[in-house]
Structure 1
Amino acid sequence: MTTLDEQGHTGEAGRVTLSGGLEDEPQLDFPGPSTPYLDYHSIDVLLSLHHPRSDTPAEPTFYVLGQVKELLFQLLYRELCAVRELLDGGEVAQAVWTLRRTRRVIELLTETWDVLGTLAPTEFNAFREHLGQASGFQSYMYRMLEYVLGNKNASLARPHDTVPRVREQVQAALRAPSVYDAAVRLLARLGADIPAAVLERDAAQPYVPHAAVERAWAALYQAGPGDSMFELAEAMMDIAEGFGRWRALHLLTVERIIGAKSGTGGTTGAQWLRRAAEQRLFPELWSSRNLL
């Protein structure tokens, strides 16, 4: 008879027993009205959230990919919050490990544009009116992701001011230090000459690059590979570059599908995205290259 531990887990011995000892044969019978996989991932709930607004064949692709992006935004936000805490605790190696996984998630997120780019302009136009004023920049998880990455723009939190529970989450993300703030604080704790104005700045305000931070990153690079902080710098550059790719491909996909037309949320569409694509996360990590 299979026994469970205190958390209800079967453990390896239990899994062998449940398999019936037959190699390469899955268990096919389960008690109750569900299966463990369905319950673990809440599959019935997840699939019930699929409600396209039209009968247009291409809309499900657009709709589902939007939901997938939201899940990945949330995952990235949680991972980067964990990195921030690890850096505050001086756990650089674990922060680097988490950043490596985070970069892979960003790559997966970026690939959603490859799928959306298969929508022909006429296919998108067939259901575009059903979007109304809905636009991706109204995504609160994306806004929180940008905030933890350091792109602080308080005005873009306004669409969520009247949404219960969401406003508090977005405002907390706006006021919290970014993962880059945590990295700069770590540089200071390790002896870098970082001015108090940088370390004690209002985290809700846009980050202003400082020459002292640029010099600190350049000095770290000059020390060469083999140091954990060197690994951190490169892992953070992976994130910054990966997010830059996400923005650039977003722009290209929009231009491919709707050209230079205005966005559904009232923006100038491609023009708005082009300005966003020119932004660089973790600015002194980029500019420090000029000193090497």
Structure 2
Amino acid sequence: MLTQSWRDLRPETATSGEISGTTRYIDIFQVRQLHTLQHPMTETAYEMAFLISSQVMELYFGLLCHELGRARREVRADDVPAVLRTLSRTVGHLRALEATWESYEDMTPADWNPIKAQLGKGEASSVHSYMYRHLVFLLGQKSPEMLEPHRSTPLIHQGLQEALSAPSLYDEVLALLQRRGLPVPDSAVHRDFAEPYVAQPQVEAAWVQVYHDESFTDLRDLGEALTQVADRFHRWTQAHLTVTMRTFGDKPGYYHTPAVDWLRSGEEQTVFPELWSARTTM
């Protein structure tokens, strides 16, 4: 336990003498600010781990949006080698994101209940993470009703509406496949991007062709890179479900829906669906 009042050394209250020994490291990474962002409300041993892990997750959501947004632009530019590098980094970020659960994966209901009591009845639910919503929209999991929790914050709501209506990374990949002469139907490329994507047999057949035809080696590599992203993201959602089952059970959560059932329904959604279903006939 640190004995000095390091959390009270806020930049706006520190004297010139207290901050005169600052370094480039402290300034560039805003270390003082970072260590004043956690405000435990209980004496529960796991609360600091919960707060910091949740904040780290939020930072990774932002990083993943940055990378996947870059990958989407690279797909539009037909720059497959650049996309592969970006998706390789993304997989590493997803591994790190999954590891954030380890800080409190053994938390029990007795550890969690005091924290949950301070969060209120849904007011601080993880469904209110707008950056996570940006992330899943980029991955193609469109859900218009998920904008509702943010209606009272116009700027956030507007940004989410724009992300909902924009093509996902997978939408852009399907357009790339069509540009390369593969039989991707127009209905998969020209559609209302705000609506959930529905898998199509013709798209599955196009992926099968990619994997069988040696002239599409770069697209096959792209398919495998996307599959890795989907796999690592699925592992994170599985870990979320497991931690919730262990700490929360099936108590009512968001909109009074049993928490585990609600998470399980989301966890069952497949990212980049035809990349998985095509393997049956490859």
TM-score, normalized by the shorter chain, greater than 0.5: yes
d(CA) in 1 for partners of 2:67 and 2:167?
15
SS at match of 1:208: coil
Deviations 1:155-185 (A, max 9, x none): 0111111114211211111111000001100
CA deviation after TM superposition for structure 1 residue 209, in Å: 1.1
Counterpart amino acid of residue 47 in structure 1: H
Q: Which moved more, 1:53-62 or 1:167-176?
A: 53-62
- Kindly provide the CA deviation profile for residues 119-149 of structure 1, in whole angstroms up to 9, marking residues without a partner as x: 1221111322001121111100000101000
The alignment partner of 2:56 has SS state of: helix
Q: Which amino acid is the alignment partner of residue 57 of structure 2? A: K
Closer, same or farther: CA 270–243 of 1 in aligned 2, 3 Å:
same
Post-superposition Cα deviations, 1:239-291, rounded to whole Å, max 9, x if no partner, equal 11111111111111111112222226633111111111211000111111122
Q: Name the residue aligned to 2:250.
A: 260
1:97 aligns with 2:85: yes
Structure 2: which amino acid aligns with 1:165?
L
Contact 2:205 2:278 in 1 (8 A): yes
Who is 2:14 aligned against? none
Per-residue Cα deviation, 1:213-240 (whole angstroms, up to 9, x for no partner):
1111000111359821111000000011
Runs of 4+ with deviation above 4 angstroms: none
Q: Which segment drifts farther, 80-89 or 51-60?
A: 51-60
How much has 1:51 moved relative to structure 2? 1.5
CA distance in 1: counterparts of 2:245 and 2:45, whole angstroms: 22
Give 1:200's aligned residue. 190
Larger radius of gyration: 1
Structure 2 unaligned blocks of 5 or more: 1-18
Contact 2:68 2:138 in 1 (8 A): yes
* 2:104 pairs with 1:116: yes
Deviation at residue 39 of structure 1 after TM alignment: 1.0
* Cα deviation, residue 118, structure 1: 2.2
Corresponding position of 1:232 = 222
Residue 140 (str. 1) matches residue 130 (str. 2):
yes
- With over 3 angstroms needed to count, the CA separation of the structure-2 counterparts of 1:98 and 1:48, relative to structure 1, is same
The number of residues matched between the two structures is 262
Deviations 1:43-90 (A, max 9, x none): 222222212222322211111111110000010011001000000000
CA 1:226–1:153: 2 relative to 1, 3 Å: closer
Q: Aligned to 1:204, what secondary structure does the other structure show?
A: coil
Match of 1:107 among 95, 100, 108: 95
Which of these residues, 8, 33, 44, is aligned with residue 32 of structure 2? 44
SS at match of 1:50: coil
In the other structure, the counterpart of 1:286 is 276
TM-score (norm 1): 0.86
Q: Indicate if the aligned counterparts of 1:144 and 1:170 stay in contact, CA closer than 8 A.
A: yes
TM-score in terms of structure 2 length: 0.88
CA displacement 1:88-140 (0-9 Å, x = unmatched):
00010110111011011111111122222121221111322001121111100
How far apart are the structure 2 equivalents of 1:226 and 1:114?
A: 40
Superposed CA RMSD in Å reads 1.7
Equivalent residue, structure 2, for 1:27: none
CA contact (8 A) 2:46 2:107 kept: yes
Contact 1:225 1:231 (8 Å CA) reproduced: no
- 103 and 140 in structure 1: CA distance in 2 versus 1, 3 angstrom threshold: same
The alpha-carbon distance between structure 1 residues 109 and 225, as it changes in their structure 2 partners (threshold 3 A), is: farther
Quote the offset at 1:34 in angstroms. Answer: 2.1
SS of 1:227 mapped into structure 2: helix
- Secondary structure class of the residue paired with 1:147: helix
CA spacing shift, 1:49–1:225, aligned 2, 3 Å: farther
Equivalent-residue separation in structure 1 for 2:23 and 2:159 (angstroms):
34
For 1:165, what is the secondary structure of its paired residue? Answer: helix
Residue 53 of structure 2, aligned match among 49, 52, 65: 65
Distance 1:103 1:225 in 2: 26
